[in-house]
Copies of this chain bind each other. A is one copy, B any other.
Amino acid sequence: MVKIIIDAMGGDHAPGEVVKGSVEALSRFEDIEITLVGQQEALEKALEGMSYPEGRLKTVFASQVIETGEVPVRAVRQKKDSSMVVGMRLLAGGEGDAFISAGSTGALLTAGILIVHTVPGVHRPALAPILPTARDPFMLIDCGANVDCKPVNLQQFAMMGSIYMQEVAGKENPRVGLINIGAEEEKGNELTRTVYQELQKMPINFIGNVEARDIPEGNADVLVCDAFVGNVVLKFMEGLASTMFTMLKKELMATKFSSILALGLKKRFASFKKSMDYTEYGGAPLLGLNKCVIKAHGSSNAKAFCSAIRQAREFSQNDLSGKVREGIARAGAAFTRDV
């Protein structure tokens, strides 16, 4: 049994979609147990009339909720009875194998570091979403809080991303690329030029620099960058895709004739849109913590929660945190000592 704890109050559609997704996952996977953490009234209302295997669904009540705009450290420290903090404490205390939240990214990272702690040797944990390309999805690491990085941080991101894609996503010998502004090894800023040299010495399948232009092609399984660049890539992908859909729609609705033709293609457009939607691939794991913590997208619906639960199950069944611990220990000598 994999025991998954879920912050039922996080995200734009909490607790309704969180609960629905959890119930769906319970019927899909018979080897999981779920603990929903949230405000009693809201949780009970969301569960009303639902049918689920009662032996595998628990609820734990928490009176507070951490909101999106709150300062992470203060929120985690002060709201001790929030669904996020209570859930993370249950995880740290051994009451579960994984914790999923669609709440504030900053608060989740902070709670993870303060309560579950990082794997020995890991300087900073990373937030690493899985993103779509024209071919297979890839892991973008880091999109979290590490906006001013040292080379050692990127080395560790590369290592952890490679382990995840091998163990959880089933990629044999994952291709690890460094996001850079040119393909040649002398290209880039101070950070990427140094990291390029260091990544060549690591026990990973380093394929060199990857220019932003080539990201959507899908030639790498892991793309490494600092969190500033990672956030720009992640958010720009979201924004550009959404603006392009809007512009295309406007263009197709320009005449009556084109509107009618476009209507006939509705299914195709929906399928195209879906192929660009990264919530399909589950959430973003926080790599480098002692236990599995997954950040689900703030706009997650029941299906996205169900995907994140599947992901947490695979993460735990494959003992990813243990493998990260071993990997980091094994590669220890290869890390630069500039922290």
A residues engaging B (CB < 8 A)? 133-134, 147-148, 179, 181, 188-190, 192, 211-217, 226-229, 231-244, 246-248, 251-252, 254, 257-258, 261-262, 264-265, 268-269, 271-272, 275-276
Contact = CB atoms under 8 A, between A and B. Distances in A.
Given A211-B235, A268-B258, A275-B251, A244 B243 contact: no
A50 to B, nearest CB: 34
Contact of A239 (B214, B242, B271): B214
A240 B237 contact: yes
Given A244-B276, A246-B134, A268-B254, A215 B188 contact: no
A228 B230 CA distance: 12
How many copies of this kind of chain does the complex include?
2
Interface of A is mostly: helix
Contacts of A148: 189-190
Given A228-B181, A247-B134, A251-B275, A240 B241 contact: yes
Q: Which interface residue of A227, A229, A243, A247 has the most chain B CB atoms within 10 A?
A: A243
Given A147-B188, A252-B268, 7 more contacts: A134-B247, A148-B189, A212-B234, A213-B235, A240-B240, A248-B272, A261-B261
A212 B190 contact: no
